[in-house]
Amino acid sequence: MAQIGYTLMCEQTPARQLVEDAVDAERAGFDYEIISDHYFPWLEEMGHSPYAWSVLGAVAARTERVPLMTYVTCPIMRYHPAVVAQKAATMGALSQGRFTLGLGAGENLNEHVLGRGWPPVNIRHEMLGEAVEIIQALFGGEYVSYRGDHYTVDSAKLYDLPDEPIPIGLAASGPQSVDLAAEYGDALVAVDADPGLVERFNACGGKGKPVYGQVGICYDTDAEAAKERAHRLWRWFAADWKVLAELPGPVNFASYAKFVRPDDVARQVPCGPDPDQVVEAVKKFTDAGFTHVALVQIGAAHQQEFFTWAEKELLPPLRAL
């Protein structure tokens, strides 16, 4: 049976509400929770982007049961991998072993703030590989010195580690990143229900490891209102990852998405009160071999009604998958 998660979407929600939503999602019965880690929202209309790691600490203190995961953190520019290792170790300790570190090669949208330029994808993957090597070494609890093509670490050591090792999930969208996930990761993270990604991951050494996916939905008792809201806040998602990773700012996403119509978004995002539409969307992932699927409820102001609906009408048929 697939695990059904809830997404704490920093790009659309203020920090204090994210913490309350995390508590309510646990109460509603979601199996785990993931959190996005951005410097910018994709669109100005989304309106938020609090620091995910501060929110995670508060969520760890306020929740009791749900596993937590970054979906995903980029450890190649905005954060040095040695700092990511320290943050993740602290989260593992605070959550008493409920934390998984989700990592990916990032988006220009968030990493350009350092002013260092945006490397091509093959270099980003090289950087990610080195970053994971550093993080894994530091998780071992000993002093670590490292000199690679992209990073240097001088005698670093983590003093606060959780009792259990922290799993690392790696995001992938194509063969190169899937191979990286199979080599370095304890789990695969992907946004597309592509069975080819899962098959390659399994063939390259990932067989038996968790596979995490995500489905955007827009619950509302009024299907047309849901479609309008999904278009206003989620039209950026119509592009594939080769576009999403390269655009530098919300204005660029808005320019790209100005020709995306509400019906275009509704073809990707279940909109309205019908749980069967969501079940069908999630089933595409489970049929492709995903073991975990997290839902994103679009619209910060509509989370409470979503929790009520999910607990009573959505989670039971999803568990039947």
Q: What is the pLDDT of residue 240?
A: 84
Predicted structure pTM score? 0.97
Give me the residue label for tokens 């979601």.
30
What pLDDT digit, counting tens, does each position of 30-79 carry?
A: 999 999 999 999 999 999 999 999 999 999 999 999 999 999 999 999 99
Mean pLDDT within 93-108: 98
pLDDT band, very low/low/confident/very high, at 112 (cuts 50, 70, 90): very high
Give me the residue label for tokens 């790009």.
11
Q: What is the pLDDT of residue 3?
A: 98
Structural contact between residues 38 and 108, judged by C-beta atoms closer than 8 angstroms: no
For residue 147, the tally of other CB atoms under 10 A from its CB is 9
What pLDDT digit, counting tens, does each position of 267-285 carry?
A: 999 999 999 999 999 999 9
Helix (H) or strand (E) segment spanning residue 24: helix 15-28
Q: What is the pLDDT of residue 1?
A: 85
Question: What is the 8-class DSSP label of residue 73?
Answer: B
Q: Where in the sequence numbering do the catalytic residues fall? A: 38, 107
Give me the residue label for tokens 């690392």.
168
Q: Number of folded domains in the chain?
A: 1
What pLDDT digit, counting tens, does each position of 287-317 carry?
A: 999 999 999 999 999 999 999 999 999 999 9
For 225, phi and psi rounded to 5 degrees?
-65, -40
Mean pLDDT within 102-113: 98
For residue 250, which amino acid is it? P
For residue 130, the tally of other CB atoms under 10 A from its CB is 20
Compute the distance between CA of residue 171 and CA of residue 197 in angstroms, rounded to an integer. Answer: 11
Helix (H) or strand (E) segment spanning residue 303: helix 303-309
Q: Is the pLDDT of residue 127 over 90?
A: yes
The three state secondary structure string of 42-81 is CCHHHCCCCCHHHHHHHHHHHCCCCCEEECCECCCCCCCH
Q: What is the pLDDT of residue 201?
A: 97
For residue 141, the tally of other CB atoms under 10 A from its CB is 12
Compute the distance between CA of residue 1 and CA of residue 21 in angstroms, rounded to an integer. Answer: 25
Q: What is the pLDDT of residue 31?
A: 98
pLDDT band, very low/low/confident/very high, at 228 (cuts 50, 70, 90): very high
Query: Could you tell me the CATH number of the domain that includes residue 272?
Result: 3.20.20.30
What is the domain range of residue 195? 3-320
- Convert 220-230 to b/e letters by CB count within 10 Å (16 or more is b): beebeebbbbb
* Axis crossing angle, helix 175-184 with helix 121-139, rounded to the nearest 10: 10
Q: What is the pLDDT of residue 220?
A: 98
What pLDDT digit, counting tens, does each position of 231-281 carry?
A: 999 999 998 888 999 999 999 999 999 999 999 999 999 999 999 999 999
